[in-house]
Amino acid sequence: MTFQITGEVPERLGDENPLGYSSYITGVQMPKPQIDFSIDPHESYDAPLSGVFRENLGYTHQGLSEIISIYEVGSFRVQAPIKPHFPPKTQEKIKKLMRRPLKPSEMVSLIDEICIISADFYKIKSRKHIAVKIDGTVVESADSEIDLLLKIQGRQFGVPVFVYEVGADSSPGWST
Amino acid sequence: MSRELNDKDYENKALFVRVRGIVQNLRDMRQVPFNFKCRVDTGFDDGVTAPQWFRSDVEIIGVQPALKTRTLANGERVPVYVCAAYIHQIDSCVFPLPGLPVKMVMLGNVERSLLGMDSLKYCTLILDGSNQKFSMIFN
């Protein structure tokens, strides 16, 4: 099953085309470009999330229009920049964190939600260590945690950065 | 420069060592030193712990500690700040520069640090419980 968005370039350059793009070259009619954004929902990040997990995160219904934000540029409909989209409850926690400190338990659940969704979204292999910004962007990855910390040591991100081992909720004890 | 710590006595039935090192900003090479009396803890996964107030010292040199969840001994999961540190000296054992790279966890408010398995992986630890002595031999 694919989700398709098809856009067409207007035939004439006019007011309805604010981008200023034209397929006209003097005297020559160029073929209309057909833009096809094909998105397979089974490949998107929400596929591994079970129904119960989605309900706990605050999803009301499952729909691609909720997950993939689409905006229009002129007469084109394009997909938003690739970044994980968080469920409403997580977004509320992030807004709350910007206003005042969270309780440790809330912070732990926020870190888990952001890192799990981000690792799922970018399809990162298990046992990889990743550094994730609070908006879900993965800024660095490495095979071991100390390598990751040395890579990001000295870099300023402006927002909190989380360190997470993909596939592990925490590290209780010595890992072999 | 010795790489061995032989027959050190237990203190209050526990292993304590003096750990010196630095946290370094790898972009501009600014650094902040630390000097903690640490308890050797083989049940602790990370390298060394530091009190929470050390985070402000680290941020002064431009290092932004990352957040991570850790499971405490009582099973509680808490958010902690982590960064990379270099250990230069453990008691009389001195290590060549840049030192031993270990994970530093900023947790708690009292200066009661732990030396965990991320630091102990560089050495052989010999415990002599009957004589209350221990030895550390670094590779």
Mean pLDDT of A133-151: 91
Q: Report strand pairing: B48-50 vs B100-106.
A: parallel
pLDDT of residue A120: 86
Of A104, A107, A173, the CB nearest to B43: A173
Say which residues have a Cβ less than 8 Å from residue B22's Cβ, sequence separation at least 6.
B31, B32, B33, B34, B85, B86, B88, B99
Structural domains of chain B, count = 1
Percent of chain B past pLDDT 90, that is, above it, reads 50
Task: Indicate the range of A36-40, A65-69, A102-106 predicted with least confidence.
Answer: A65-69
Q: Are B72 and B44 in contact (CB under 8 A)?
A: no
**How high is the pLDDT of residue A14?**
47
Measured between CB atoms, does B43 come within 8 Å of chain A? Answer: yes
Closest partner residue to B79 (CB to CB) among A107, A146, A152 is A107
B64 and A CB contact within 8 Å: yes
The three-class DSSP label of residue B54 is: helix
User: Residues A121-146: what's their mean pLDDT?
Assistant: 89
SS3 A28: strand
Show the tokens assigned to A139: 């800024």
For residue A45, what pLDDT is reported? 45
Q: Which of A83, A57, A90 is nearest to A69 (CA)?
A: A83
pLDDT value of residue A13: 46
Q: Token pair 């040591």 is at which residue?
A: A153
Test the A interface: residue of B64, B71, B120 with most A CBs within 10 Å: B64
CATH number of B118's domain? 2.40.70
In whole numbers, what is the pLDDT of chain B averaged over residues? 89
pLDDT at residue A122, rounded to an integer: 85
Q: Report CB contact under 8 Å: A149, B69.
A: no
More confident position, A136 or A169: A136
pLDDT in tens, B28-76: 889 999 999 999 998 888 899 999 999 999 999 999 999 999 888 888 8
3-state SS track over A78-140: EECCCCCCCCHHHHHHHHHHHHCCCCHHHHHHHHHHHHHHHHHHCCCCCCCEEEEECCCCEEE
| Mean pLDDT (chain A, rounded) | 70
pLDDT of res. A3:
47
Q: How confident is the model at residue A50 (pLDDT cuts 50, 70, 90)?
A: low
Q: How far apart are the first and last CA of chain B?
A: 13
Alpha carbons A31 and A120: distance in angstroms, whole number: 39
Mean pLDDT of A23-30: 52
How confident is the model over A112-128, as pLDDT tens digits? 999 989 988 888 888 89
Q: What is the pTM of this model?
A: 0.71
* Contact indicator for B116, B44 with CB cutoff of 8 Å: yes
Q: Which of A146, A154, A169 sits opposite B25 (nearest CB)?
A: A154
Structure tokens at B23: 């946290």
Contacts of B79 in chain A (CB under 8 A): 104, 107-108, 111
Is the pLDDT assigned to residue A42 strictly greater than 70? no
Q: CA B82 to CA B67: how far, in whole Å?
A: 6
Is there a contact between B71 and A172 if contact means CB atoms under 8 Å apart?
Answer: yes
Within A28-128, strands assigned E span: 28-29, 34-39, 70-73, 76-79
pLDDT at B84: 95
Q: How far is A154 from chain B (nearest CA, A)?
A: 5
Whether residue A173 contacts residue B43, with contact meaning beta carbons closer than 8 Å, is answered with yes
User: Can you give the pLDDT at residue A31?
Assistant: 59
Q: With an 8 Å Cβ cutoff, are A150 and B101 in contact?
A: yes
Measured at the CA of B60, the angle between CA B55 and CA B66, to 5 degrees, comes to 45
Nearest Cβ partner for B77 among A150, A164, A170: A170
Residue B2 has pLDDT above 70, yes or no: no
Write down the pLDDT at residue B83: 94
Which sequence spans correspond to the domains of chain A? 3-79, 88-165
Task: Indicate whether A48 pLDDT > 80.
Answer: no
Å between B87 CA and nearest CA of chain A = 13
Q: How many cross-chain Cβ pairs, A to B, lie less than 8 Å apart?
A: 80
- The DSSP code for B6 is E
Name the DSSP class of A73. Answer: E
Better pLDDT: B83 or A27? B83
Q: How many CA atoms lie within 13 A of A53 on its CB side?
A: 11
Cβ proximity of A67 and A84 under 8 Å: no
Burial of A106 (0-12, 13-18, 19+ CB in 10 A): middle
Q: Minimum mean pLDDT among A66-70, A143-147, A153-157, B101-105: which range?
A: A66-70
Render pLDDT for A88-100 as a digit per residue (tens, 0 to 9): 989 999 988 888 8
Question: Do residues B77 and B38 touch, judged by C-beta distance below 8 A?
Answer: no
Range of the domain at B38: 4-138
